[in-house]
Chains A and B, each alone.
Chain A
Amino acid sequence: MADRNPTIVVADDEPHIRMMMKVVLARGGFDVVGEASNGREAIEKCRLLRPDLVLLDINMPIQNGDEALAEILKDLPEIAAIMFTSVADSMTVERCIEMGAVNYLRKDAPVQQISEMVKQTWQEWRSRGGEP
């Protein structure tokens, strides 16, 4: 991979969460190349922008993040998909990981921890050969 910042699409129906994550991820060295306010838009943005990563909320209108996860990874398995949600029951976590999410972050984690975990997830994903 060229020496560039990893690109990421942020999908969350809450505009202030998207705004906050743009700031947090930019500080962490990521280029936020797209935003989506629902699962369908997340799929469209991923198809269009081909980001390195996608950060997916679960509870979103029109199409949930877990449904979007399945569609994104069906077409674009090279994308590292990270769930970022307040849904924190074990069944949902296991289902998303089985579907191919590379990590699952609770929204109430400290901001610095979120940024570090996204970075760590990306580094591990690359080290496993996940880069496009």
Chain B
Amino acid sequence: MREKMPLELLLREIAEDELAEAPARNEVVSQEDIGQIIARKRANTGKRTDEKPS
């Protein structure tokens, strides 16, 4: 099991503060949800994330 780093605790604290202050404009999504959104976008639209740049 990985040992918790002070840096991680600091980052988490900052991020939680920012998330708490963020306006609830839309549904807040988890990291897992974000992965699903990206996969869906790639599958549906074939955007840059699936393309080889010219």
Contact = CB atoms under 8 A, between A and B. Distances in A.
A49 interface: no
B25 A105 contact: no
Interface residues of A, number: 38
Contacts of A110: 8, 12
Interface string A6-30: 0000000010110010011000000
A107 interface: yes
By DSSP majority rule, is chain B's interface helix, strand, loop, or mixed?
A: helix
A109 B8 CA distance: 9
Interface string B27-46: 11111011001100100010
A105 B15 CA distance: 11
B19 A108 contact: yes
A5 interface: no
Contacts of B38: 97, 103-104
A88 B14 contact: no
Nearest to B47: A98
A116 to B, nearest CB: 11
Nearest to B19: A86
B2 A88 contact: no
Interface of A: 14, 16-17, 20, 23-24, 59, 73, 77-78, 86-94, 97-98, 100-113, 128-130
Which 3 pairs, one residue from A and one from B, show the smallest C-beta to C-beta distance?
A: A86-B18, A108-B15, A107-B15
